Amino acid sequence: MVIHRDQCRADARDVLDEFEAWLLRERSTQEGTAAAYTARVAGFVEWLPAPVDQSLKTLTAAMLTQWVNLEAARGLKASTLSKQLVMLRSFLQFCHRSGRTGQDFSGVVPHAAAWRLSSIPDPVPSGTIEALFGTLDLRSAKGMRDRAILMLLTGLGLRACEIAGLRLGDIGWRTGTLRIRGKGDRVDELPLPEDVGQALEDYVLHGRGGRTAGEEVFWTVIDPVQPLTANGVCGTVRQICVKAGVEKFGPHRLRHTFATGMLASGATLQEVQGLLRHAHLRTTAIYTKVDKNRLSALVTEWPATASGRWSR
């Protein structure tokens, strides 16, 4: 289960803070990656009986198996469960090396069966995006901020971490471009659509303006004001879903919706690959699985069907 460390008990937060510091120091992970790993294992740490340090000292393989079975029973996608288990292994390695467990239990954690690119992207139902925008109060700083975030998700297909990483200098107001820092320290420059740029301008000038001197574009709206994290972007989208009365989902589903919409409107796979900034075209090709209408238009009717010679 992915939860924010602030939702955990004090003893759990202490261990999670040390785990994140260990990832930054020993594994040289980026801050966003370390935060994501910490959020992924927070559910396991919170599940352990208090105090956490004592539970870790008496940890057994049977306890780990019990927790993995509980996670699997939640009906998680194979890819999601696989991420949970990968990050749990890292946490258990940290626990052993920091002396919290007497042995390295990382080898006990099983591998979830998952095949790369085997899943089918699930765009949001028709009318959902309009419902999300319809809940926003554009007279408030939060409403202007949330509109800009939704525009970046639906108009450019950005990832949550890319939105959280935006700096004021990344916005090319005069050139109409947006600099994106993506996975693997990759930096790309995308065209900035007029409606997306207008939403950003409204937020920067009237929603964000004057509240902070930092370079980050997006900030929290409740004091103490802090830069919005990738988890914060995810939480924002889910809060808007609840307010709109639709099924909760995260930012990545809007990225899926953007990609399938581009293909449906006639964009080529190579064009969508460039906008999504996929390193390999085979990653982008997964979106062709869901465009059944376009696929049907490419296939002529089988003559036997037209003449009624076969019942099936």
Active site residues: 159, 183, 252, 255, 278, 287
Among 161, 172, 182, which Cα is nearest to 227's?
161
In this structure, the chain runs to a length of 312
Measured between alpha carbons, how far is 53 from 59 in angstroms, rounded to an integer?
10
Q: What is the DSSP string of 19-33?
A: HHHHHHHHS---HHH
Query: First-to-last CA distance in the chain?
Result: 45
Measured between alpha carbons, how far is 196 from 272 in angstroms, rounded to an integer?
18
Assigned token pair, 76: 């998680």
Q: Report the C-alpha dihedral over residues 214, 220, 221, 226, rounded to 10 degrees.
A: -50
Assigned token pair, 301: 């009717």
Which residue's entry shows tokens 């294992």?
A: 41
Q: Report the C-alpha dihedral over residues 237, 157, 182, 269, rounded to 10 degrees.
A: 150
Indicate the pairing of strand 187-191 with strand 171-172. Answer: unpaired
